[in-house]
Structure 1
Amino acid sequence: MADPMDIDNAPRIQINLSTRDPSLSIPLQPLRIPTNLKRYGLSTLVNHLLETPKPIPFDFLVDGKYLRTSIDQYLTSAGLSSEKPLDVEYVRSQLPPTYVGSFEQDDWISSVHISPSPSPTILTGSFNGTAQITSLSGEILAKTVPMHTQSIKSITWVSPPSSSSSEASFLTAGLDRTINLWSYTPSSDPSETLQITPTTSYISHKSTITSLSYSPSTSQFLSSSSDHTISLWSTDSSLLPTITTPQSTSFTRKRRRTISKPPSTIKKGPLATLTPHTAPVSQIIFHQTDKSAAYSVSWDKSIITHDLITTQQISTRLTNHPLLSITVLPSLNLLAAGSAARHITLHDPRESSKTIQTAVLRGHTNGVVSLVKSPENEYIFASGSHDGSVRIWDVRSVSSSDTDENEGKSGGSLFVIKRESGTGKVFGVDWSRDVGLISVGEDKKIQINRGEGMADVTVMDQS
């Protein structure tokens, strides 16, 4: 912290403190503070005003940028005068996620989904065409039998393992154009690796299936494909038409000569097929609260909002680059879309919005292929990229400066997480309050990072 004598002699500036967190708000009041204060001094001031029983570490945003210097240095770099009041937003500090550990698998890992508590496990899909369930200590609890004839591209839990249910189930899909539903009963012996067989196969797409999204409230799921289509399905097989003759490929026939005959499954078609895009569909996700709606992104550069009841488009947002991934920040009415142009754009999807409110987040050096929102903070999300990194972003940290007029606001990432192996693309990310931030990729590893001990952190000099 700055020396008290320096504070007394330093020039002062009026600041207007504010926050978007109602639990941490203080009455609006003009404050005159020394311009040589940094984050520690400002954090001490806010804790004093809040009368917190235990100090909370805070960060500070000025014009959408995190304050990393003294106020005086910021004013000098921005060409501002201390005579004009300064608006300062305070937010809880985010700890950089530290490396916890990693578990290696047999092949590149394409996708990951963490099951919720009380018994969180890690479901992954692999380029060798199998999926597996791994414990948080690295034991392989279950593996799928050879069923997919090419790489798995997407996986999702349907009924995660829990103490109240004896059966768990999940979906897998990939390059062989087939979706499989798998069910199993978790073993009480963690040293036993179960072999899981599929119960139902879902067939409709004519090219790679790029993503899956499941809605527990409706028992429906969505799939997107490189064939430009989106399909709507149900895990209740009685609601779906039966498919008697699935199509095959030369690759499939060749692969099957080298493995044992795959298990027989019930084969079903979709409830509906949507054809709104003119290029491969990268990802489809359900609306967070209205499960009759969904969002999709595509190589045709569009974000489309769908009405799943009528199978019609509600709205279309056009961007400047092919889109590879999407996530929803529901409380903010924002969509984050990852692009092939290495950046992330933020969009307001509401039809009532007169204009598209966007911001561009830059930092990745290759395509952004996976996005996931924070389980704890509505303003935070993470991205995975083929540049081999995971980045964490705060949508409050955007600024109108240093950007083109046509792009709106722009921002940079809070933290960058590299692969512990030092190499390889990141293909998928997921984030759980209980487990942490998990990333998977070309290095064949499940990597876990976590911001440890937030509740136990006291204010310290972070300058």
Structure 2
Amino acid sequence: MANAENDVPQIQIRFITKQEQYAVPDYPLSVPATVLTTQLNTLVNELLKESVDSNATFDFDFLVCNEFLRTSLTEHINERGVSTEEVITVEYLERHPPPEPQDCLIHDDWVSAVAVREKWILTGCYDNTLHIWNTKGKHHLTIPGHTSPIKSVAWISLEDERATFVSASQDQTAILWDWNITDNSIECVQICRGHERGLESVAVNHNAQLIATGSWDTMVKIWSATVDERSNDGESASKKLKTDHGKIRTPELTMKGHKEAISGVVWSNKSELVTSSWDHTLKLWDTELGGIKHEIPGNKSFFDVAYSSLAQVLVAASADRHIRLFDPRSTEGSVVKTTFTSHTQWVQSVCWSTTDGNLFLSGAYDNQVKLWDTRSPKAPLFDLSGHEDKVLSCNWSNPKFMVSGGADNTVRIFKSKHAIH
């Protein structure tokens, strides 16, 4: 009687890895076509014990045709039209460890904006206040000044003794702030006026010279980000600030092109901007020429856009519950390279890892923050659960901490434990 095991067709595979500490011999091996990641994991660990003579076991993920294996091997390669006659190359890498929940920072109202720089967390709230916390969860400062909810915040500079940052609000202004860290005092340095409706997004360019804002008035405006110690006529800044007039900053440039509210702005290099809008488009702008370089159409409103300087690609969050990865430089086929589907409500916020061009976060109205790898479009690596209401903002500027703000009046902090690269 034939053994049932013999009835399962075999596939020839070859293991490779870029993580040399885990390298095993790359000769072809026969495995059942129905093999899953758990069995591949056992196999690699057995090969490692033979070649490295160590009893430690490791948890690996497996890439076949540049996508993580999440089904049986035969299903995975059939979907991609790969012949089972060939030797299949299976790349393995250490699995990303689960992020660990750290802290919950309680606010008095919805937290619609978060930005992290080193050990400091800046938050913006629907009660018109800004807050500064450290990554250990200690509250340092409450900052009044805006007259409507704050929708976006960004750090400009951070030194040992002082920091500057910018906040954008539905009160139609962006404010530049100077924080004296030593004595924990704050000064409103400049009020950026010029938008005719509420602001949704603010971003600072790479050399911290320029600020971009996007608004419900459909305009993109560019402002100077410099916080001058002295004004041109030699008057000290503090003396000049006694008159409100000295605080008003006007835009250096206004760019028109969107038909509805601009929901997100991000700098892709020192003079190029990407915007997302409710008008179903993403636009790439040249701030030196002051015009649109490229437009990417979508089929629903976009609520946020993020650019990875490592991978040089965009992810955009949309009203259709999907996140899409765009390669704006692509000349072949669609600029949409991947669609990530798992959220069950509007996706409100996206943010790339600053150290790994494959990883990004998303936050949505389904109360979930998700950690994604671009090589696993059908399922996130992890759900970062904890919010009890809509997630409005997420940030991963400090590689160690994933931070999100929500309509449950909290900021959630997860510690990111990076796999070895």
TM-score class, shorter: 0.7 to 0.9
Partner of 1:180: 175
Q: Deviations over 1:396-418 (max 9, x none)?
A: 124xxxxxxxxxxxx33222122
Q: Deviations over 1:26-67 (max 9, x none)?
A: 886533235575435423554647966776531113466643
Distance in 2 separating the partners of 1:321 and 1:222: 24
Partner of 2:392: 427
Distance in 2 separating the partners of 1:196 and 1:263: 17
Partner of 2:369: 390
- The answer as to whether partners of 2:322 and 2:339 remain within 8 angstroms in 1 is yes
Partner of 1:282: 263
One-letter amino acid matched to 1:197: E
The number of residue pairs the alignment matches comes to 402
- The answer as to whether partners of 1:340 and 1:368 remain within 8 angstroms in 2 is yes
Distance in 1 separating the partners of 2:292 and 2:21: 39
User: Which of the residues 189, 203, 209 maps onto 1:213?
Assistant: 203
Residue 272, structure 1, aligned to residue 267, structure 2: no
Deviation at 1:143, TM superposition (A): 2.1
Change (3 A) 1:98 1:277: same
Change (3 A) 1:19 1:167: same
Deviates more, 1:329-338 or 1:38-47: 38-47
Partner of 2:237: none
- The answer as to whether partners of 2:121 and 2:135 remain within 8 angstroms in 1 is yes
- The answer as to whether partners of 1:376 and 1:433 remain within 8 angstroms in 2 is no
One-letter amino acid matched to 2:148: Q
User: Which of the residues 396, 403, 407 maps onto 1:442?
Assistant: 407
Secondary structure of the structure 1 residue equivalent to 2:148: coil
Deviates more, 1:76-85 or 1:442-451: 76-85
Alignment of 1:77-96 (within 5 A): 85-96=87-98
One-letter amino acid matched to 1:345: R
Partner of 2:187: 197
Secondary structure of the structure 2 residue equivalent to 1:331: coil
- The answer as to whether partners of 1:197 and 1:263 remain within 8 angstroms in 2 is no
Distance in 2 separating the partners of 1:453 and 1:270: 41
Distance in 1 separating the partners of 2:133 and 2:43: 46
Change (3 A) 1:79 1:171: closer
Residue 152, structure 1, aligned to residue 173, structure 2: no
Distance in 2 separating the partners of 1:107 and 1:433: 25
Change (3 A) 1:432 1:224: closer
- The answer as to whether partners of 1:143 and 1:196 remain within 8 angstroms in 2 is no
Uncovered stretches (5+) of structure 2, i.e. residues with no partner: 233-241
Change (3 A) 1:303 1:72: closer
Distance in 1 separating the partners of 2:333 and 2:368: 35
Distance in 2 separating the partners of 1:281 and 1:154: 12
Deviates more, 1:202-211 or 1:327-336: 327-336
Change (3 A) 1:353 1:306: farther
Alignment of 1:25-424 (within 5 A): 29-35=27-33, 38-43=36-41, 45-46=43-44, 48=47, 56-62=58-64, 66-68=68-70, 71=73, 85-116=87-118, 120-144=119-143, 146-160=144-158, 162-163=159-160, 166-187=161-182, 194-236=184-226, 264=244, 266-287=247-268, 290-350=269-329, 352-353=331-332, 355-398=334-377, 411-420=378-387, 423-424=388-389
Change (3 A) 1:22 1:322: farther
Uncovered stretches (5+) of structure 1, i.e. residues with no partner: 1-5, 189-193, 243-261, 399-410, 456-463
- The answer as to whether partners of 2:304 and 2:350 remain within 8 angstroms in 1 is yes
- The answer as to whether partners of 2:324 and 2:336 remain within 8 angstroms in 1 is no
Secondary structure of the structure 2 residue equivalent to 1:42: helix
- The answer as to whether partners of 2:9 and 2:33 remain within 8 angstroms in 1 is yes
- The answer as to whether partners of 1:198 and 1:263 remain within 8 angstroms in 2 is no
Distance in 2 separating the partners of 1:113 and 1:301: 26
Deviation at 1:221, TM superposition (A): 0.9
Q: Which has the higher strand share?
A: 2
One-letter amino acid matched to 1:214: V
Change (3 A) 1:180 1:76: closer
Secondary structure of the structure 2 residue equivalent to 1:332: coil
- The answer as to whether partners of 1:364 and 1:385 remain within 8 angstroms in 2 is yes
Distance in 2 separating the partners of 1:447 and 1:75: 39
Deviation at 1:365, TM superposition (A): 1.6
Percent of aligned pairs sharing the same letter: 28
Change (3 A) 1:354 1:452: closer
Distance in 2 separating the partners of 1:354 and 1:299: 25
- The answer as to whether partners of 1:65 and 1:397 remain within 8 angstroms in 2 is yes
- The answer as to whether partners of 1:373 and 1:382 remain within 8 angstroms in 2 is yes
Deviates more, 1:266-275 or 1:63-72: 63-72
Deviation at 1:9, TM superposition (A): 11
One-letter amino acid matched to 1:417: L
One-letter amino acid matched to 1:178: T
- The answer as to whether partners of 2:308 and 2:354 remain within 8 angstroms in 1 is no
Deviation at 1:389, TM superposition (A): 0.6
- The answer as to whether partners of 1:218 and 1:291 remain within 8 angstroms in 2 is no
Q: Deviations over 1:281-334 (max 9, x none)?
A: 1111101xx311111111111111111100121111111111111111333332
Over aligned residues, Cα RMSD in angstroms? Answer: 3.5
Partner of 1:408: none
Partner of 2:13: 15
Distance in 2 separating the partners of 1:431 and 1:44: 33
